[in-house]
């Protein structure tokens, strides 16, 4: 399985996840939000699916994609693992400095 963070970092896939988080959509609906080809969207969806972030349900001749909450949970866990207390402390310091200026 692909690294969720690497999969979600790509700008187009970020937007796809945003769209699908709001509501489940078909491939054509998603592609309508982009300037790139539907084929490109299909491939992005494949990557997101391999990362366990989305899933497709076949309904008639269209496939409805939705996010997988468990995948987002793993993504969040990965971000949390990266965002250690040291990093937190540094960001807090930055806030303090900004407050002082």
Partner DNA sequence: GCAATACGTTAGCGAGCACTAACGTATTTG
Partner DNA sequence: CAAATACGTTAGTGCTCGCTAACGTATTGC
Residue with tokens 């366990």: 52
By the rule CB under 7 A, 18 interacts with DNA:
no
The sheet carrying 25-26 orders its strands as 25-26, 62-67, 54-59
With CB cut-offs between 5 and 8 Å by kind, which of DNA, a second copy, none does residue 48 bind? none
By the rule CB under 7 A, 99 interacts with DNA:
no
Buried b (16+ CB within 10 A) or exposed e, 58-71: eeeeebbbebbeeb
By the rule CB under 7 A, 23 interacts with DNA:
no
Nearest-5° Cα angle at 50, 68 to 23: 30
Residues 37-76 that bind DNA (CB under 7 A): 37-40, 42-47, 56, 58, 60-64
Q: How far is the CB of 93 from a second copy (least distance, A)?
A: 5
Residues 13-72 that bind a second copy (CB under 8 A): 14, 17-18, 21-22, 67, 69-70, 72
Distances (CA, A) of 32 to 54, 56, 67, 101: 19, 18, 18, 45
Sites of contact with DNA (CB under 7 A): 10, 12, 26-29, 35-40, 42-47, 56, 58, 60-64
């Amino acid at each position: 399985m692909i690294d969720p963070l690497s999969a979600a970092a790509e700008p187009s896939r970020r937007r796809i996840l945003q769209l699908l988080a709001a509501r489940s959509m078909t491939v054509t609906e998603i592609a309508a939000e982009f300037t790139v080809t539907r084929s490109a969207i299909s491939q992005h969806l494949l990557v997101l699916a391999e990362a366990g972030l989305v899933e497709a349900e076949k309904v008639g001749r269209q496939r409805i994609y939705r996010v997988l909450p468990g995948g987002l949970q793993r993504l969040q866990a990965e971000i949390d693992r990266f965002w250690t207390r040291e990093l937190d402390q540094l960001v807090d310091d930055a806030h303090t400095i900004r407050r002082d200026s």
